[in-house]
């Protein structure tokens, strides 16, 4: 039993949030000159997005029955399909946003996401725990990609760069190349992650068990009275 | 409510797909693309006229600067045509063609063709010898092609178009 979504949230708010994430996720801003470019989702991010949606469905964060089904009208099903498709596009582009564009680090990030999602799938967390877990995973990826790697690539970063170099000394075979990003790109990525997480919180959820208990109790009481 | 939501989502998704396919390089190009998609985009007439004046005086870098100001989003086909033409004229030489300028011209004329309705662009300017984007494109491509006829000494008598 799912708690029905308000129509405005399902028809406008969720598609708007997820499509915004899908659009902003591929935005790249050149550190020199600020030229824009829009990166379509690489194939690996589509795989990761499928896996993520599977994990969400397993944990009860995404309830397909609350968006699609025979109990809903055609228009409601169309609306639910839009939410699902936009969620898929947003998930794929969020991985694009948080993954370096090239090099070994890109492979490392993708493998990290892949194993983490696989592990989460096996662990079968509940809705709240999955939300916390995703916040930590995406937050970690954000910090590494837009704070640590950007600092490593920035010769002006000073103490941050020196600290990271010392911390990574000996941990790798050679020096880790940072990835230069425009400061604005970090803000855009932060907003993208935040919007995605807000969208996840607003997805339909199972009705609270207390409601079901109250309904059963009321029915039993009515039976007794009869 | 749901029908409006579906229309909104379809329009928003189409906009995002169009942005990814057009690949705007600046915020002005992004905003110009949005304005052009709703028919609200116009070139700046003052800068355009200034660009034309420079173009006719063979001041090509100046002409391009003014025309770029007139059409910052690169959405207006005739303006892009003049920019491409300026690359052609600047790159044209009696005994050589500047490949770098011709290549840039080719990129711009391709953009002009892409922006023109149906891909057909005619500029009825009597001061030009080529009035269509197709002619200009073919001329630029000819300039970039290496062939035996390049060695023909009679080519030095060819006139700039």
Residue A52, pLDDT > 90, answer yes
- In this complex, is the C-beta atom of A15 within 8 Å of any C-beta atom belonging to chain B? yes
- In this complex, is the C-beta atom of B30 within 8 Å of any C-beta atom belonging to chain A? yes
Calculate the alpha carbon distances from B147 to B5, B96, B104, B142, B154 in Å: 58, 13, 21, 9, 15
Which residues on chain A are in Cβ contact (under 8 Å) with B2? 7, 10-11, 75-76, 78-79
Q: What is the pTM of this model?
A: 0.74
CB-nearest partner of A86 from B9, B27, B30: B9
Residue B145 — very low, low, confident or very high, per pLDDT cuts 50/70/90? confident
pLDDT at A208: 67
Contacts of A141 (CB under 8 A, 6+ apart): A98, A99, A109, A112, A113
Residue A225 — very low, low, confident or very high, per pLDDT cuts 50/70/90? low
Ranges of H-type helices in B23-125: 27-37, 45-56, 60-70, 77-91, 99-115
Which residues on chain B are in Cβ contact (under 8 Å) with A184? none
Q: Tell which residue, A15, A140, A159, has the closest CA to residue A88.
A: A15
Separation between Cα atoms, residue B61 and residue B86, nearest integer Å: 8
pLDDT in tens, A69-89: 888 888 889 999 999 999 999
Smallest CA–CA distance from B22 into chain A, residue: A38
Which listed CATH number (1.25.40.10, 1.10.1040.10, 3.30.428.10, 3.40.50.2000) goes with B43-157? 1.25.40.10
Residue B68, pLDDT > 70, answer yes
Residue A100, pLDDT > 80, answer yes
pLDDT at B54: 96
Break chain A into its structural domains and give their ranges: 7-225
Smallest CA–CA distance from B15 into chain A, residue: A23
């Amino acid at each position: 039993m799912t708690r029905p979504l308000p129509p405005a949230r399902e028809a406008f708010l969720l598609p708007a949030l997820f499509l915004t994430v899908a659009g902003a996720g591929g935005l790249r801003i050149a550190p020199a000159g600020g030229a824009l470019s829009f990166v379509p989702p690489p194939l690996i991010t589509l795989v990761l997005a499928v896996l993520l949606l599977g994990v969400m469905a397993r944990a009860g964060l995404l309830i397909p029955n609350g968006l699609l089904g025979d109990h809903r009208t055609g228009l409601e099903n169309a609306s639910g399909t839009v939410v699902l498709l936009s969620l898929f596009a947003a998930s794929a582009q969020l991985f694009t946003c948080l993954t370096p564009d090239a090099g070994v680090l890109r492979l490392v990030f993708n493998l990290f996401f892949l194993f983490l999602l696989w592990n989460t799938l096996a662990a079968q967390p509940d809705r709240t725990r999955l939300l916390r877990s995703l916040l930590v995973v995406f937050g970690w990826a954000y910090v590494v990609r837009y704070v640590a790697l950007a600092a490593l690539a920035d010769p002006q970063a000073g103490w941050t760069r020196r600290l990271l170099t010392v911390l990574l000394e000996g941990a790798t075979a050679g020096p880790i190349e940072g990835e230069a990003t425009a400061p604005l790109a970090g803000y855009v990525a932060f907003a993208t992650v935040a919007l995605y997480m807000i969208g996840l919180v607003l997805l339909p959820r199972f009705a609270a068990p207390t409601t079901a208990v109250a309904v059963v109790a009321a029915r039993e009481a009515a039976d007794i009275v009869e | 409510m749901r029908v409006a939501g579906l229309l909104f989502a379809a329009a928003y998704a189409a906009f995002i797909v169009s942005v990814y396919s057009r690949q705007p390089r600046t915020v002005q190009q992004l905003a110009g693309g949005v304005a052009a998609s709703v028919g609200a985009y116009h070139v700046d007439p003052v800068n355009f006229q200034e660009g034309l004046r420079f173009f006719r005086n063979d001041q090509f870098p100046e002409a391009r600067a003014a025309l770029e100001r007139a059409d910052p989003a690169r959405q207006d086909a005739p303006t892009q045509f003049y920019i491409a033409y300026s690359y052609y004229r600047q790159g044209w030489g009696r005994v050589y063609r500047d490949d770098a300028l011709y290549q840039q011209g080719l990129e711009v004329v391709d953009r002009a063709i892409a922006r023109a309705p149906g891909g057909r662009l005619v500029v009825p300017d009597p001061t030009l010898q080529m009035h269509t984007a197709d002619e200009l494109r073919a001329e630029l491509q000819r300039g970039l092609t290496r062939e035996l006829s390049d060695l023909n000494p009679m080519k030095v008598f060819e006139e700039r178009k």
